[in-house]
C-alpha cells in the first residue's frame, strides 16, 4: 500500500514514511492509494474476537514491512492493555436501538487514546529501526494533547510540543498536559484559538528547512495512522450489533473531522453503514456546508464542548478529495480559495456525493446541557458535553428505527466536571489514577499567537538535531 497526497504534488510514500512525515510536503494530507475492502464473510468472522485481534485484521492491509503480524499483534495487545474496560470500547444501550460507544476508557479519558496508544508504539518502532529521532509538533483543543503526551512521555527518541489555546480547554484537560514532569514533554499555551494552533503546526510543516532540521513528525489526525486506528472501533461496534448481516448508523461528535472520516473509511472498506451523522456544537461550519453548499469560516465561539470548538476542519480535505473523485487539481483550487478568502463552494457533484453518505446536525449550549440532564434522569447514565452534542443530534435527526444507531462517546464526563455539574447538579469524579491531578504542579509556557515565536521555542528545546542515543 502506498500513500498519496490530496494535493497531488508530493511523492507517494510507504506506510512507515507517511507515519513519520505527518503533513505531505505539498501541504496536503496522505491517503491510501486505494481502500482495501473486506467481503461480508470476512467481516462476519470478526465477531467474537477481542479488540486487539480485530484491530490486527483491520489495520494489516494498511501497513508495510515494518509491521508484520509478529510485530503488529503484540503491539496492539500492549496498546489496549492500558484500557480500563475489558471490552476496550464497550457499547451501552440508552434507548431502544440507540447505543453509546464508550471510547474513553484509555489513560487520558478520551477517544484519542485509542489511536495514540498505538501511534506512540508505531513511531517508536520505526524510529528505532532507523536509529532516528523526531520532534513531534501537535495542536490540541484539549484531548489530542494529553493523549499524545501520555503516549510519548519519557520516550528517548521523541520530543513532544503541544500547542493549546490558552484559557480555552477545561482545567482537567490543561492539567493533564501541564503536570507531566518528563523532560521530553512541552505543553505550550498559545494566545489564540485551536484553529490558530493548527495553522501554526501546518505552517511549521510547510517551512521545509525548519521541518527537516528538527525532523518534525505529526500526531494530529493529519497523520493517516491516527485515522486507521480509529477505523477499528467502527468495525468492532458494527459487528457487535449485527453487521455485516444488517446495516448500522453512526452519530459522531465532530470538530477536526478525523473521527467521522474513520467511519467513512470503514464504509469504503465494506462495513454496511447506512448513515454517518456529523454532530457539531455551535461551531457548525460542517452543518452549514452540508446545508448551504458553502464552506465558510467564521469566528470560533467558546462552548461547553471545547474540544469541538473548531472552524477549520482539517480532515474535511480528505473527504473532499474523495468527493472530487481524487482530482487533486480541483482540491488545490478549493484550498487556495480557503486560504485566500476563508471560504469555498464545492462543485455540486462533490456535494451530492458527500450528502449521499453524511447527514449533519448541531446542538447549541442549552440543548447540550439539557441532554446531559435528560440522559442522567431517564437512563441513570452520565455523559460528557461532546457526547451530549451527538446524543442531542441523534434524537432529532431523521433515522430508520430498525437500524441500530451508534453514538460515539468521545470523552469521560470527569474531563468536564463544571459543565456536567451545571447541567445536572452532579460533579463526576476523576478515576483513581488521576485523583490527585488538581494538586499536581503545572509547567506551561505561554507564547504569543505568532509562528516565529513558536518555532524559536521549539528549536531551542528540541533534541532532534543531536545524534540518537
Ligand atoms: C472529546 C472530543 N469529542 C469530539 C472531538 C471531535 O473529533 P474530530 O476532531 O475527530 O472530529 C474531539 C476532538 O477531536 C474531542 O476531543
Ligand atoms: N479535538 C481535538 C483537535 C485536534 O484533533 P486531531 O484529531 O486532528 O488531533 C483535540 O482534542 O485536540
258 in ligand 1 pocket by Cβ < 6 Å? yes
- pLDDT at 467 > cutoff 90: no
Peptide bond into 36 cis (omega under 30): no
- pLDDT at 377 > cutoff 90: yes
Question: Under a CB-based contact definition with an 8 Å cutoff, are residues 61 and 13 in contact?
Answer: no
The whole-angstrom separation of Cα 375 and Cα 210 is 49
Ligand in closest contact with the CA of 141: 2
Write out residues with Cβ below 6 Å of ligand 2.
140-145, 220-221, 255-256, 258, 307, 314
Exposed/middle/buried for 209, CB within 10 Å: 0-12, 13-18, 19+?
exposed
As given in the structure block, the three cell numbers for residue 131 are 536509529
Cross-strand bridge partners of residue 405: 98, 249
- pLDDT at 91 > cutoff 60: yes
- Range list of β-strands (E), 365-413: 405-409
pLDDT for res 469: 44
Q: What is the torsion angle, in degrees rounded to the nearest 10, for the CA atoms of residue 393, residue 396, residue 400 and residue 402?
A: 80
Q: How far is ligand 2, taken at its centre, from the CA of residue 259, in Å?
A: 9
Q: How far is ligand 1, taken at its centre, from the CA of residue 110, in Å?
A: 9
- pLDDT at 447 > cutoff 80: yes
Testing ligand 1's pocket by substitution, the residue of 219, 253, 261, 314 carrying the most ligand atoms inside 8 A of its CB is 253
Kindly write down the DSSP assignment for every residue of 16-74, as one continuous string: HHHHHH-S-TTS--EEESS-----HHHHHTTTT--HHHHHHHHHGGG--TTS-HHHHHH
User: Is residue 464 very low, low, confident or very high in pLDDT (cuts 50, 70, 90)?
Assistant: confident
Q: What is the pLDDT of residues 315-354, one digit of tens each?
A: 999 999 999 999 999 999 999 999 999 999 999 999 999 9
Ligand in closest contact with the CA of 259: 1
User: Is residue 60 very low, low, confident or very high in pLDDT (cuts 50, 70, 90)?
Assistant: very high
User: Is residue 266 very low, low, confident or very high in pLDDT (cuts 50, 70, 90)?
Assistant: very high
pLDDT for res 465: 57
pTM over 0.95? The answer is yes
Q: Would you call 326 helix, strand, or coil by DSSP?
A: coil
Which residues form the catalytic set?
112
- Range list of β-strands (E), 340-413: 343-344, 358-362, 405-409
Amino acid at each position: 500500500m502506498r500513500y498519496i497526497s490530496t494535493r497531488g504534488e508530493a511523492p507517494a510514500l510507504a506506510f512507515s514514511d507517511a507515519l513519520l512525515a505527518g503533513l505531505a510536503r505539498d501541504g496536503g494530507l496522505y491517503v491510501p492509494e486505494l481502500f482495501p475492502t473486506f467481503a461480508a464473510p470476512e467481516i462476519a468472522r470478526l465477531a467474537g474476537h477481542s479488540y486487539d485481534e480485530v484491530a490486527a485484521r483491520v489495520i494489516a492491509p494498511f501497513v508495510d514491512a515494518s509491521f508484520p503480524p509478529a510485530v503488529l499483534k503484540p503491539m496492539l495487545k500492549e496498546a489496549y492493555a492500558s484500557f480500563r474496560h475489558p471490552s476496550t470500547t464497550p457499547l451501552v444501550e440508552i434507548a431502544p436501538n440507540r447505543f453509546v460507544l464508550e471510547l474513553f476508557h484509555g489513560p487520558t479519558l478520551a477517544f484519542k487514546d485509542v489511536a495514540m496508544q498505538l501511534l506512540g508504539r508505531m513511531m517508536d518502532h520505526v524510529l528505532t529501526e532507523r536509529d532516528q529521532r523526531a520532534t513531534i509538533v501537535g495542536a490540541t483543543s484539549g484531548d489530542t494533547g494529553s493523549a499524545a503526551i501520555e503516549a510519548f512521555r519519557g520516550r528517548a527518541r521523541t520530543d513532544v510540543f503541544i500547542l493549546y489555546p490558552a484559557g480555552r480547554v477545561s482545567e482537567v484537560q490543561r492539567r493533564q498536559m501541564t503536570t507531566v514532569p518528563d523532560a521530553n514533554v512541552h505543553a505550550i499555551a498559545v494566545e489564540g484559538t485551536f484553529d490558530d494552533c493548527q495553522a501554526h503546526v501546518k505552517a511549521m510543516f510547510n517551512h521545509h528547512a525548519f521541518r527537516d532540521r528538527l525532523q518534525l513528525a505529526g500526531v494530529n489526525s493529519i497523520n493517516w495512522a491516527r485515522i486507521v486506528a480509529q477505523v477499528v472501533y467502527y468495525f468492532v461496534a458494527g459487528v457487535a450489533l449485527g453487521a455485516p448481516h444488517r446495516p448500522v448508523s453512526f452519530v459522531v461528535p465532530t470538530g477536526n473531522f478525523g473521527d467521522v472520516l474513520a467511519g467513512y473509511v470503514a464504509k469504503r472498506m465494506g462495513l454496511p453503514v447506512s448513515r454517518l451523522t456529523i454532530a457539531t456544537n455551535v461551531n457548525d461550519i460542517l452543518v452549514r456546508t452540508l446545508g448551504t453548499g458553502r464552506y465558510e469560516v467564521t469566528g470560533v465561539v467558546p462552548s461547553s464542548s471545547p474540544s469541538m470548538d473548531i472552524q477549520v476542519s482539517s480532515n474535511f480535505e480528505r473527504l473532499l478529495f474523495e468527493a472530487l473523485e481524487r482530482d487533486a487539481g480541483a482540491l488545490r483550487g478549493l484550498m487556495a480559495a480557503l486560504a485566500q478568502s476563508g471560504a469555498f463552494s464545492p462543485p455540486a457533484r462533490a456535494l451530492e456525493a458527500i450528502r449521499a453518505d453524511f447527514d449533519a446536525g448541531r446542538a447549541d449550549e442549552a440543548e447540550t446541557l439539557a441532554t446531559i440532564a435528560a440522559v442522567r434522569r431517564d437512563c441513570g447514565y452520565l455523559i460528557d458535553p461532546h457526547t451530549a452534542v451527538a446524543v442531542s443530534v441523534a434524537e432529532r435527526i431523521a433515522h430508520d428505527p430498525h437500524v441500530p444507531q451508534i453514538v460515539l462517546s468521545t470523552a469521560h464526563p470527569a474531563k468536564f466536571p463544571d459543565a456536567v455539574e451545571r447541567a445536572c447538579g452532579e460533579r463526576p469524579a476523576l478515576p483513581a489514577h488521576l485523583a490527585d491531578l488538581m494538586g499536581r504542579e503545572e509547567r506551561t509556557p505561554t507564547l504569543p499567537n505568532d509562528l516565529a515565536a513558536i518555532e524559536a521555542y521549539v528549536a531551542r528545546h528540541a533534541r532532534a538535531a543531536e545524534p540518537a542515543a
